Structure 1
Amino acid sequence: MARHVIVDGSNIATEGRSKPSLKQLSEAVTAYMAENPKDLITVIVDATFGHRIDKKEVAEFDEAVNNNELVAPPAGTVGRGDAFVLSIAQKVKGCILSNDSYQEFHADYPWLFDDGRLIGGKPVPHVGWVFVTRTPVRGEKSRRATSAAKGDTKKKSPKPSAAALKPMPVPKAPPPGAVMPKKKESAPVAKKQVAESAGSGRTVNEILPFLQFVEHHPVGAVVVGKVESYSSHGAYVDLGSVRGYVPLRLMGEPPPRSAREVMGLGQEVTLEVVSVVASRRSIDLKPSTKKAPAKSAAQKKAPAKKTPAKKAPEKKPAVKKTDAKKTAAPKKVATPKKAVAKKAAVKKVTTPKKTAAKKNPPTKKSATKAAGAKK
Structure 2
Amino acid sequence: MPPKPAAPKHVIVDGSNIATEGRSKPSLKQLNDAVMAFIQDHPKAVITVIVDATFGHRIDPKEATAFDKAVEHNELVTPPAGTVGRGDGFVLSIAQKVGASILSNDSYQEFHGQYEWLFDEGRLIGGKPVPNVGWVFVNRTPVRGEKSRRAIRESLPATDKPGRGVAKVKVSAEAMKPMPVPKSLPPGAKLPAKKVESSKSVNDILPFLQFVEKNTVGSVVIGVVESYSSHGAYVTIGDVRGYVPLRLLGSPPPRSAREVMQLGESVTLEIVEIIAGRRSIDLVPTTKSVSEVGTKSKKKTVGKKAAPAKKVVPVKKAVAVKKAAPAKKATPAKKAAPVKKVTPFKKATPVKKAAPAKKAVAKKIATKAAPKKVSAKTPVKAAPRRK
* TM-score normalised by L of structure 1: 0.41
Name which structure has the greater RCO, CA cutoff 8 Å, separation 6+: 2
* TM-score normalised by L of structure 2: 0.40
Name which one, 1 or 2, has greater alpha-carbon Rg: 1
